[in-house]
Amino acid sequence: MPLTVQKLASRLTFRQLQVFKAVYDLRSYSQAGDLLGLTQPAVSSQIRQLEQGLNMPLFEYIGRRLHTTAAGERLIEAVRGIFTEVADLQTDLAALEGRVAGELRLVAVNTAQYVVPYLLRAFLDLNPEVQIKVTVVNRANAIERLSNNSDDLVIMGMVPEGRPLTSLPFLDNELVPVIPTGHPLSGRNKIPADEFLASQLLMRESGSGSRLALEVHCQAARLKRPEGMELGSNDAVKHAVLAGLGVAVLPRLSILSELHLGALEVADVQGFPLRRSWCLVYPANKHLTPSSRAFVDYIQQNIASFAQLIRRQNHQRPR
């Protein structure tokens, strides 16, 4: 006999649904327990009680892999809807009290990941009920996510032209020519750019914003950019420079520790540094959630203080 809504509601708890969603997303009882602060037996108990309440199995092991049954797939659809409604309720109740709450989904390109932590501390102090999720991608993926409207806000350097986007520049992004300490170019003044670029240039992968900035500069200055080793992140490029594999153009903010320790140097190269801006970007017709609107307002109101903070970081020295 099918369960009535009243009987079904009396058999289910939010905790069971929360545990179920964690197991579904992670495909692991133990990892779900780690996420929720529960032991694996406690997770198993919650799932067992949920299955008993529904009179249907939700998961099954085939070999060593955990799979979801048809009932589990249907339940996850309902659970996602339930938790979305709860999140909306939290946001609405906070708004009634003049507070900001809810989830804020930020995407940052690799170059911008070094500045994001400096943006969040004061914002979270002002809005402690906002839950922030930051995803780091390269520029090509950021553009794709903008097109799909996958996130609330995107932080990137070179904003694509010819698209209906709203862009708020908020901080300089200085791209500097980097060499390891003791390099033959070390200590020289006004190094010709083509000589620097020919010194085993290390580059980010195609689609990276920092690579595009360098390519645009080379095209405008009629510089030949030699083919060189490609690496998938700024950190990988930085460590390749440290290992003596070549030179690179990197965000200054990404190499502050190495500059302070004397492991890397900024070379005096003609036409450098390249100056771009980090921007907060979202589709022009996007309806901003209260948390994303609060973040946009916060960025607009604190542009000057961000610049001061980064300047202090640039001049900070180890004790």
The CA distances from residue 259 to 92, 180, 203, 214, 315, in Å, are 47, 10, 19, 21, 10
Alpha-helix residue ranges (DSSP H) falling in 221-315: 234-242, 256-261, 290-301, 303-315
The closest alpha carbon to 288, from 297, 277, 279, belongs to: 297
The closest alpha carbon to 195, from 264, 265, 269, belongs to: 269
CA distance 274 to 98: 43
Q: What is the DSSP string of 85-116?
A: HHHHHHHHHHHHTT---EEEEEEEEGGGGGTH
CA distance 300 to 298: 5
Give 135's strand partners. Answer: 107
CA distance 311 to 319: 18
End-to-end CA distance of the chain: 73
Q: What is the pTM of this model?
A: 0.64
The token pair at 120 is 């969040």
The CA distances from residue 219 to 26, 33, 40, 213, in Å, are 46, 53, 58, 10
Given this model, what pLDDT does residue 269 score? 95
Residue-wise pLDDT for 17-37, tens only, equals: 999 999 999 999 999 998 888
Q: Which residues of 106-121 are buried (b: 16+ CB within 10 A; e: fewer)?
A: bbbbbbbbbbeeebbe
Residue-wise pLDDT for 140-199, tens only, equals: 889 999 998 889 999 998 888 888 999 999 888 889 999 999 999 999 999 999 999 999
Over residues 95-103, mean pLDDT: 71
Given this model, what pLDDT does residue 313 score? 65
Do 228 and 267 touch, CB atoms closer than 8 A?
Answer: no
Given this model, what pLDDT does residue 318 score? 44
Given this model, what pLDDT does residue 239 score? 94
Identify the structural domains of the chain with CATH numbers, from first to last: 5-95 (1.10.10.10), 100-170+277-315 (3.40.190.10), 172-275 (3.40.190.290)
Is residue 310's pLDDT more than 80? no
CA distance 108 to 280: 9
Given this model, what pLDDT does residue 276 score? 85
Over residues 301-314, mean pLDDT: 75
